[in-house]
Amino acid sequence: MDWMLEGLLQGTQFQTLYNRKIETLREEYHLRKIDIDILYFLYKSGERNTSKDICSLNLFNKGHISQSVDRMVKQDLIHTVQDEEDRRCVHLVLTEQAIEIIAQATELRNQMYNMILEGVTEEERKVLFQVSQKVNQNIRNALRNS
């Protein structure tokens, strides 16, 4: 396989760029990368706002999620709400301060996407999106079958 395609699929260069982009935000608010990723997930996820939902992404293990959630509760970035129907289920709710941080993180993401997609036409972006959906589905299927 072409090493450039493999690098793209692994996302190493993308992650390096992303880490550089959010570094000042992390320092300003004393956050780790996982904290910003979890805040962003909670912002985008709607009703899927539990630690189990975050864990289903297969990006972080339960221990890291738990540590991050505890840290962000102490920083007043999220608060927990027990589910009314299932007391074992705890929902993670963003605070106003967290939403401000997410707005900054979203702006940084948009800047980054504009940088990496510079010169890529709208038609090429659509093809890239379609191909990435198929590749992601193939990866999910391979993981399920292995």
Give the chain's mean pLDDT.
89
| Helix (H), strand (E) counts: the chain | 7, 2
Cβ within 8 Å of residue 107, ≥6 positions away: none
Angle, to 10 degrees, between the axis of helix 3-10 and the axis of helix 12-29?
A: 30
Q: Give whichever of 18-22, 82-86, 94-98 has the largest mean pLDDT.
A: 94-98
Give yes or no for a contact between 10 and 40, defined as CB atoms under 8 angstroms apart: no
The DSSP call for residue 50 is: B
How many Å apart are CA 128 and CA 15, to the nearest integer?
18
pLDDT in tens, 87-132: 888 999 999 999 999 999 999 999 998 998 999 999 999 999 999 8
84: tokens are 């009314």
Q: Quick one: which H or E segment has residue 129?
A: helix 122-145
Render pLDDT for 53-70 as a digit per residue (tens, 0 to 9). Answer: 898 877 788 999 999 999
Q: What fold does the segment set 3-120 form as a domain?
A: Arc Repressor Mutant, subunit A (1.10.10)
On whether the CB atoms of residues 103 and 90 are closer than 8 A, the answer is: no
Residue type for position 118: E
